[in-house]
Amino acid sequence: MPRAHSKRQFAKARQFMPGGVNSPVRAFGSVGGDPIFMARGRGAYLEDIDSNQYIDYVGSWGPMILGHANPHVVTPLKDAVEKSSSFGAPTVAEVDMAELVLSRMPSMQQIRLVNSGTEAVMAALRVARGFTKRNKILKFAGCYHGHSDALLVKAGSGALTHGAPDSLGVPAAFTQHTLIAPYNDLAATERLVRKHRKDLAAIIVEPIAGNMGVVLPRPGFLRGLKKLCRVNGALLIFDEVMTGFRVHSSGAQGLYGVKPDLTTLGKIIGGGLPVGAFGGPKKIMQCLSPVGGVYQAGTLSGNPLAMAAGLATLKKLGTKSFYVKLNQKTSRLALGLTEAARKAGIPVQIPHVCGMLSLFFSDQVVTGLGDVMKTRKNLYKAFFHEMLARGIYLPPSPFEAWFVSIVHGENEIAKTVRAAKDSFQNIKDQF
């Protein structure tokens, strides 16, 4: 596929932006080559500025669960922008969004809307510290919770992609209260909690890890975290920026039946527009200004465009049948990819859950960051470019989740599996 226009735009972009991008993973650093500049999307497809078409498994990193330019989202968004792109004052749509989210998330009694997942996590941690009057936070290696200073320690996502999980510019004092445990290792977590129990404000976790690739929680892991928090007076925070309303109508907490104390959300509740949120029981959320002493604010919080797109999206996700269909599509894709790899003699692991999956080149089950780092990342690089040449757009990093939308039909899944068969055959000599 010729990409001369993308190549020229990338050269131009590097003159004006660090690395030519506004988010590191877009630079194709871990797969090589030049990034592709997209022009438009429709349904399960993207089209670049060279008029090449691709079946999209990035989905703007999760929110395009209904596909690109879905008319159910576009129409109310057009109506909203004609009234104004921002008021900086309360709107009915914010109340409607809060009511809808709370009706789907039983762990929440109140919610605060913000502008990104990073902001949601940052504020939730501040609330946890304010509520408990404690300082320390426990996170898990390979889980990414945004780019706030205290959490860029053994982070996933772009930090792993670019080999710098501990960012420059973060003073050591900013991370002195951040504890790290291995994901899925309840015993190691318990030891850390026991050691720091008097000053531990919260445990924060991706209930389904998605930023070191998809890593599913072991049976009992999430319930074990809940018990540790309850016994030791800490709060449990589920970072559902990625999983919220994607894997279940009530997020991962609904899928696994574990109620966190605080939940952070993003992506889907804006229907593809910038948004974030966090919420929990009223007794905790009442710590927030203007009724409590924990300060948080944002001019664009509850932006009317994000509310219009988000409400339109969430209203289409309210049925059990939606998630049954999405899970079936995801499973068919995972099974097809697994069989294609088996025929080529290449061992792979493809953990998957409704709407999310990852492909690891490994013969070992992946349960945490240590397993992820042992996978054959060079094979993913080769596989990525083979698939791209066949019109399949995958995440440009082995450490990111793939996203399946409800509009990925039988034809798209079959075409993806056929492309994978050829791609696996072409790279098997590198194994």
**Distance, CA of 336 to CA of 194 (rounded, Å):** 45
Share of the chain above pLDDT 70, in %: 96
CA–CA gap between residue 406 and residue 66 (Å, rounded): 6
Backbone angles phi, psi at 363, to 5 degrees: -100, 5
Q: Are residues 199 and 143 in the same domain?
A: yes
Neighbours of 143 (CB within 10 A): 26
* In a shared domain, residues 82 and 110: yes
Contact predicate 371/411, CB 8 Å: no
Assess whether pLDDT exceeds 90 at residue 175: no
Q: Is residue 161 predicted with pLDDT exceeding 50?
A: no
Which of 315, 332, 366 marks a domain boundary? 315
Q: Is 114 found in the same domain as 167?
A: yes
Residue 155: per-residue pLDDT: 54
Query: What Cα–Cα distance (Å) separates residue 258 from each residue in 186, 237, 286, 290?
Result: 15, 11, 23, 30
The domain tally of the chain equals: 2
Same-domain pairing of 277 and 414: no
* 15 and 135 assigned to the same domain: no
Average pLDDT of the chain is 94
User: Is the confidence at residue 156, as pLDDT, over 60?
Assistant: no
Domain of residue 409 covers 4-69+320-430
Q: Select which of 45, 57, 144, 256 is catalytic.
A: 144
pLDDT-derived band at 145, boundaries 50, 70, 90: very high
Which amino acid does the sequence have at 10? F
CA distances to 183, 210, 416 from 144, rounded to whole Å, are 12, 8, 28
Kindly list the strands in the beta sheet with 392-393, ordered across the sheet, starting from the edge strand earlier in the chain: 38-42, 45-48, 53-56, 392-393
Banded model confidence at residue 148, pLDDT cuts 50, 70, 90: confident
Please tell me whether residues 365 and 309 are part of one structural domain. Answer: no
Q: In angstroms, how far is CA 384 from the centroid of its own chain?
A: 20
- Which helix (H) or strand (E) covers residue 182, if one does? none
Mean pLDDT of 196-208: 97
CATH code of the domain covering residue 244: 3.40.640.10
pTM given for the model: 0.94
Please tell me whether residues 398 and 280 are part of one structural domain.
no
Catalytic entry in 136, 139, 154, 267:
267
Separation CA 63–CA 307 (nearest Å)? 14
In whole angstroms, give the CA distance from residue 421 to residue 215.
24
- Is-catalytic flag, 267? yes
Exposure letters 99-119 (e unless 16+ CB within 10 A, then b): ebbeebbebbebbbbbbbbbb
pLDDT recorded at residue 4: 95
**Residues 78 and 214 grouped into a single domain:** yes
Supply the Cα-derived Rg of the chain in whole angstroms.
21
Residues 302 and 335 grouped into a single domain: no
Q: Are residues 60 and 126 in the same domain?
A: no
Report the pLDDT value the prediction gives residue 370, as an integer from 0 to 100: 95
Q: Based on the fold, state whether residues 44 and 95 are members of the same structural domain.
A: no
> Is 144 marked active-site?
yes
How many angstroms separate the CA atoms of 145 and 150, rounded? Answer: 10
CATH number of residue 41's parent domain? 3.90.1150.10
What's the rounded mean pLDDT across residues 318-333?
A: 95
Of the residues 270, 297, 315, the one at which a domain ends: 315
29 and 104 fall within a common domain: no
Q: Of 48, 56, 185, 239, which is the active-site residue?
A: 239
Look up 429 and say whether it is catalytic. Answer: no
Among 253, 282, 315, residue at a domain's last position: 315
